[in-house]
Chain A
C-alpha cells in the first residue's frame, strides 16, 4: 500500500520532469539555432525515453 502509492506518484513525477527538462532544452536549442520546433520534438522524445528507462531502472528491474 505504502510502496505502491509512493511508486505511482514517483513515476508520474519522473515522466513529467523528463518531458520538461529535455523538451525545455530542445526548445532553447531551437531558439538558439532558429529552427521551428524540430529540436523541441527531438528533446521531448529523448526525455520520454530516458524517463521511461529511469522508471524501468527503479521499479521494473528486480521483481518486487
Chain B
C-alpha cells in the first residue's frame, strides 16, 4: 500500500521500498552493495568472536568464553536436544550457524552507522530458506526412503479415497511451497517493516524539525517514539532469528519422525 503525495519535491517524501535499493559503493561493480558488505562483515565478526571466545577455554570461563558458550548452549540444548531429540548433534552446527548469522545480520539494523538489516533484501532469506528446505527433505528421504517419505506427506491415513483429490494438493503445496516461502517471507517482512518504521519516525522527525514553530515543538515526540521503537526492534530481531532457527529444527524433527 502506497500513499503517494501529489506534490512531490515540495512536501515530505515518505520512506518507501526505494530506500532499500542502495547503489553499489564501487563504481561499475554491480554486486558490491551495502547488504553484501554487511553479510561479509557479519561472517568476519562471528568468526572472530567465537574463535576468541573458544581459544583459551578454561574450566573457570572468562567473560568472553561465558558469552560464547551461553549462545552455543542455548542453540544446542534449547533447539537441538529439546526439539530434534536423540540424533540432534549432527544438526547443531547448521542450527548454530543459522542462528548467529541471522541474529548478527538483524542487529545491523539498529547498530549506529551500519543501520541496515541485511535480511530486508529478500534474496538473503530466500537462500537461507532454500538451504533449510533441501536439508529437511534430504534428511527425511535418507531416513525413510523416497517412496515412503512422499507417501507419508501426500496421503493421510483413515480418509475415504475420493477425498484425497482435495487433500493431496494441499499437502504437497504445504511441504514444497508454503513452508520455504513463509519461512523466508516472515523474516524478510519483519526486517523490512521494522526498518521502514524506524525510517518513518526518524526522517519524519527531522522533517518536522525543519518546519514552522508548531511543527518544531512536536518533533521531539517523533524522536522519542523512534528511540522506543528501536528497542522494540531489538526484541523483534532476536525473536525472528530464534523463530527461523526453531522452525528449521521443527521441520528437521518432522522429517526424522517416522509418523507425524
Task: Mark A residues whose CB is within 8 Å of B.
Answer: 1-2, 5-6, 9-10, 12-14, 16-18, 20-22, 25, 46-47, 50-51, 53-54, 57-58, 61
Residues 147-177 of B contacting A (Cβ, < 8 Å): 156, 158-159, 163, 166-167, 169-171, 173-174, 177
Going nearest first, the 5 A-B pairs with the smallest beta carbon separation are A17-B173, A50-B166, A17-B178, A17-B174, A21-B173
B83 to chain A: closest residue by CB: A2
- Asked if A14 meets B250 with Cβ closer than 8 Å, knowing A2-B82, A2-B83, the reply is no
Q: Is the interface of A mostly helix, strand, loop or mixed?
A: helix
Query: A14, B83: Cβ atoms under 8 Å?
Result: no
Binding site for A on B (CB under 8 A): 82-83, 156, 158-159, 163, 166-167, 169-171, 173-174, 177-179, 182, 246-247, 250, 253-254
- A-B interface contact total, Cβ < 8 Å: 57
Contact among A2, A25, A54 for B167, CB-based, below 8 A: A54
Contact between B254 and A6, CB atoms less than 8 A apart: yes
Interchain CB contact under 8 A, A5 and B182: no
Contact assessment for A50 and B167 in the assembled complex, using a CB-CB cutoff below 8 Å = yes
- CB neighbours of A51 from chain B (8 A): 170
Which of B158, B167, B170 has most chain A Cβ within 10 Å? B170
Complex Cα distance A51/B163, Å? 12
Nearest CB of chain B from residue A43's CB, rounded to whole Å: 11
